[in-house]
Amino acid sequence: MNTLSNYPNKIYLGENEGEKIYLSAPSWDCNWYWGFGYIGNNNCHYHIDGLTKKENAHLFDAFKKHFGKSLVVRDSQLWTLCELFETFYNLKNAAEVLGSGSSNMSANPCKDLIINKDEVIRINNIVLPQIFEEIYKILIPAQDNEKINKQLIKEIIKGDTNKVVDFMIENKISTDDLKNIEGVTNHDYSVICSFYWERYHKNN
């Protein structure tokens, strides 16, 4: 089973307790399921879906608590990333149930009704590879966010709010994202937001 693209073996997410944490690329394991959501480094190994228990929060807040300001993904994209990960886990579990006809607690009297091999093939061959593709459409560009943030601060220092907003639009930075960019003051935030939304309403 193949992914739609070749992804990095490890991709950086952020830091936790001084440790750089990476996401491993998806893999087709044991010839029947997709292995994905494995994070860590040489010293630690855990799972994206375990963050909710680890941080005692839903996935969005768990990402924020676990990685803090080191998280490479912007808030404006984090909800979509969380949706994609949750959907991956739900579909992976669905494929397992539809393939075996049970949840592996005991023999299921509805086994023959549950089994749907065609749907298992669709999930594993078509849907999940597209889920991975959308996840990496967020994570790969996010590796440059720190550099882009520094460029944004330079534009802010120059004092031309019109060019600041142009830069934000070009790099898909929302006004909410400004709150988590080091170097953006409350005054900067207020001025930029006013200008940003004034232009938005003028053009729509």
Give the H/E segment covering residue 45: strand 45-47
Q: Which amino acid is at 195?
A: F
List the beta strands (DSSP E) in 66-165: none
Beta partners for 166?
Answer: none
pLDDT band at 201 (very low <50, low <70, confident <90, very high): confident
- Mean pLDDT over residues 176-202, rounded? 93
Q: Which of the pair, 1 or 174, is modelled with greater confidence?
A: 174
Say which residues have a Cβ less than 8 Å from residue 13's Cβ, sequence separation at least 6.
Answer: 21, 22, 23, 39, 67, 71, 72, 73, 139
Say which residues have a Cβ less than 8 Å from residue 56's Cβ, sequence separation at least 6.
Answer: none
- Mean pLDDT over residues 104-123, rounded? 96
* CA–CA distances in Å: residue 153 to residues 140, 156, 195: 22, 5, 16
pLDDT at 204 over 80: no
**φ/ψ of residue 169, rounded to 5:** -65, -45
- Mean pLDDT over residues 139-152, rounded? 97
Rg (CA), the chain: 21
Count of C-beta atoms within a 10 Å radius of residue 37: 19
**Range scoring the smallest mean pLDDT among 110-114, 147-151, 200-204:** 200-204
pLDDT at 202 over 90: no
Query: What is residue 10's predicted lDDT score, i.e. its pLDDT?
Result: 98
pTM for the model: 0.92
| Residue-averaged pLDDT of the chain | 96
- Mean pLDDT over residues 78-93, rounded? 98
Give residue-wise pLDDT tens across range 12-40.
Answer: 999 999 999 999 999 999 999 999 999 99
For 38-66, b where at least 16 C-beta lie within 10 A, e where not — what string? Answer: bbbeeeeeeebeebbeebeeebeebbbeb
Calpha distance 70→170 (Å, rounded): 23
Quickly count helices (H) and strands (E) in the chain: 9, 6
Query: What is residue 26's predicted lDDT score, i.e. its pLDDT?
Result: 98
Query: What is residue 1's predicted lDDT score, i.e. its pLDDT?
Result: 84
Give CA 176 to chain center in angstroms: 17
pLDDT band at 173 (very low <50, low <70, confident <90, very high): very high
